Structure 1
Amino acid sequence: MVSDPKRAFELKGELCTLSVLRLQDTDMGRITRELAAKVKIAPGFFSNTPIIIDLKDLNSSEALLDFTGLKITLIKHGLVPIGVRNAEAKEQEAAIQAGLALLRNDPAEYSSFGNADNSRPQRRQWDPEPPPPPRKSLMITRPVRSGQQIYARECDLVVLAQSSPGSELLADGNIHVYGPLRGRALAGVHGDTEVRIFCQSLEAELIAIAGNYKLIDDAETSLKGRPVQIYLQEDHLMISPL
């Protein structure tokens, strides 16, 4: 009998861009109501979307979050909860019991969980980094189809056509779309807050820069269908005409 030389699987680490639910309250009633309102605005965005639960903004005096209830609520609204980050010891135990993974904090931004006073991780102070090398770009000349994802790693993304509903554009740098921008567009996916999104016609269902999201139905209605630029200003996503 000849043995099969192929392995049953490969286990490898990969970089994936995931949505983050950054909680600011443990009140499940309030969370459920606000989530239902978001789903009603853009149901397509919440369909089978993996999501991380981030507890960084919760006050340590808040009541313990009902992780099982939150998991059920997220699944009910189409989201797929992956795990929890920035959790204290008691929250870690509750998250594990609810079947959620424990995720590490961003090592470039936060210190480890092992704080002696059991407080939430604090931001580290880092020396200024040298200026980055000149940014290149990934150029796409054809329309981006529905269901297609394009990622410009360590560079800008330039699309010389339209992006279709259900498509996803991701870039570590800026995003330029010389046509209608539909679907999702996420710039600065590694945390660069200085990047921008430019398009000839704003028709996207979701836009994001450095993890700061906005559903297009939440945006200024007067700018839909117009040439715009999108950028961050004091952690707020701004949209202005070109």
Structure 2
Amino acid sequence: MDRPQSDVLTATPFEIKGSMLTLLELRLHSTGLDAIAQHLAEKVAKAPGMFRSAPIVVDLQALGQVDGLDLAGLAAVMRGHGLVPVGVRGGSPALQAAAVEAGLGLLAAERRSETRPVPAKAAAAGGKTRVVTQPVRSGQQIYADGGDLVVLAAVSPGAEVLADGNIHVYGPLRGRALAGAHGDRTARIFCQCLEAELVSIAGHYRLFEELDPALRGHAVQVFEDGDNLMLQPL
């Protein structure tokens, strides 16, 4: 007897594939849970829609081998603000064990070069510039794998544009723009009209509410200078 077509289509119940996901990072510089909770509450209050049900990673790398952090308590605080903690990056063996016990995953440590920065175009080696001529609608994600991204139209609120290299937006930028998506800290964002929900270089981000009001609606470039995310008029 022939198997029903539906059974054939579902013979393999799932497949596991790599994907390019955008995750917020909570990069810790201290272990004081009360201070972290207060500062997080202030951040969420400025942009509640930005953080609602957003997956987030706790970056422990700056803490070195410090063990005194209540990870289960921190995860509870984040969930209380509507965030979804999914894992930790780095940290001491004791903190990684605590993360597993708290139901969090372990992510590979971020590789940061201690030598002279690689020129921005090096990130695009082997990758082509991706050019988008149509508006990027809410809910869409456009990614330039291994190269730069050029958008000749508007990026709507709720839309997301990512690139391993630089991002150029020639219409209003109202959604999220994440350049240097795989860690290139020399990448830049260039836009003709800055109204972004979020801009990010190599995971270092700034929210709309944190942008200088004098820059909103104007042509701006975004880049990293040391550990600072800089926004300057073009």
Give the TM-score normalised by the residue count of structure 1.
Answer: 0.85
Deviation at 1:16, TM superposition (A): 2.5
Deviation per CA, 1:1-59: give whole Å up to 9, x if none: 54433311112333433221111111111111111111111112102111111111115
Q: 1:105 to 1:184 in 2, by over 3 A?
A: same
Q: 1:12 to 1:134 in 2, by over 3 A?
A: closer
Deviation per CA, 1:116-155: give whole Å up to 9, x if none: xxxxxxx7889x89x8337631111111111111111111
State the match for 1:201 in structure 2: 193
Q: 1:219 to 1:50 in 2, by over 3 A?
A: same
**Identical positions, percent:** 51
Higher helix proportion: 2
Q: For 1:94 and 1:234, how far apart are their aligned partners in 2?
A: 32
Q: For 2:209 and 2:233, how far apart are their aligned partners in 1?
A: 17
Deviation per CA, 1:43-76: give whole Å up to 9, x if none: 1210211111111111545x62111111111112
User: Tell me, what secondary structure is at the counterpart of 2:187?
Assistant: coil
Is 1:95–2:87 an aligned residue pair?
no
Give the conservation status (yes or no) of the 8 Å contact 2:180–2:187.
yes
User: Tell me, what secondary structure is at the counterpart of 1:223?
Assistant: coil
Deviation per CA, 1:173-195: give whole Å up to 9, x if none: 11111111111110010111221
Aligned mate of 1:78, from 69, 77, 82: 82
Is 1:7–2:7 an aligned residue pair?
no
Give the TM-score normalised by the residue count of structure 2.
Answer: 0.88
Give the conservation status (yes or no) of the 8 Å contact 2:28–2:58.
yes
Is 1:140–2:145 an aligned residue pair?
no
RMSD between aligned residues: 2.3
Give the conservation status (yes or no) of the 8 Å contact 2:173–2:196.
yes
Is 1:156–2:148 an aligned residue pair?
yes
User: Tell me, what secondary structure is at the counterpart of 2:186?
Assistant: coil
Is 1:57–2:58 an aligned residue pair?
no
Q: Which runs of 5+ in 1 are unaligned?
A: 110-122
Is 1:26–2:31 an aligned residue pair?
yes
Q: Which amino acid aligns with 1:172?
A: D
Kindly report which structure 2 residues correspond to 1:101-140, keeping only aligned pairs within 5 A, or say none: 101-106=105-110, 108-109=111-112, 132=122, 133=125, 136-140=128-132
Deviation at 1:219, TM superposition (A): 2.0
Is 1:190–2:169 an aligned residue pair?
no
Q: 1:14 to 1:165 in 2, by over 3 A?
A: closer
Q: 1:26 to 1:160 in 2, by over 3 A?
A: same
Give the conservation status (yes or no) of the 8 Å contact 2:132–2:152.
yes
Is 1:38–2:30 an aligned residue pair?
no
Q: 1:59 to 1:10 in 2, by over 3 A?
A: closer
Aligned length: 225
Deviation per CA, 1:179-219: give whole Å up to 9, x if none: 11111110010111221111111101110001111112212
Q: Which amino acid aligns with 2:51?
A: F
